[in-house]
Amino acid sequence: MTDKDNNEEFPAGGVILDGGNADGYETGGWRKLKPVLDKEKCTNCLICWVMCPDSAIIVEDGKVVGFDMEHCKGCGICDVECPPKINAIKMVSEEEAD
């Protein structure tokens, strides 16, 4: 559905012929705030990974390593869900982060 040079080949009626294609739809551009992880504080409890509605928490070997910025919409659920005693995720504006 994203091949704009070949859009005459789109399936009639807008039928999407394969599954798991939400991955190809980049929603990161909607973001106003971005999450920043403090790896020192993070205990890798993975509550953020469970709660993220966009599956945008990147986990490797059971550890949070960062965020998928092509899909993170900046909703801040990870920040809210990160246990208050830990508080390893902070939402900051895009400019501030840079």
Partner 1 sequence: MAIENAKSAQVGLTGNSAVALAMKQINPDVCPAYPITPSTAVIETFSSYVADGEVDTELITVESEHSAMSAGIGAAAAGARVMTATSAQGLALMWEMLYIASGMRLPIVMTNVNRALAAPINIHCDHSDSMGARDSGWVQLYSETVQESYDNVFMAVRIAEKVKLPVMVCLDGFITSHAIENMDTIEDADVQAFVGEYEPEVSLLKESELPTTYGAMSLPDSYMVFKKQQSEAMSGAKKVVEEVSAEFAKKFGREYGLIDSYKLDDADVAIVIFNSATGTTRVAVDELRKEGHKVGVMRIRLFRPLPHAEIAEALNGLKAVACLDRVDSFNDFGGPLFNEVRSSIYDLENRPKVISRIYGLGGRDYKVSDARSVFEELLKIVETGTVEDTTKYITI
Residues within the interface to partner 1 (CB under 8 A): 1-2, 4, 7-8, 10-19, 21
Q: How far is the CB of 78 from partner 1 (least distance, A)?
A: 26
Q: Which is nearer to partner 1, 15 or 61 (CB)?
A: 15
Tally of residues, the chain: 98
Reading phi first (left if > 0) and then psi (alpha if -120 to 50, else beta), residue 49 is in alpha
* 8 versus 61: smaller Cβ distance to partner 1: 8
Find the shortest distance in angstroms from Cβ 37 to partner 1: 32
- The structure tokens listed for 77 are 């659920």
Task: State which residue, 14 or 62, has the beta carbon closest to partner 1.
Answer: 14
Beta-bridged to residue 36, according to DSSP, are 90
Q: Looking at this protein, which amino acid is placed at residue 56?
A: A
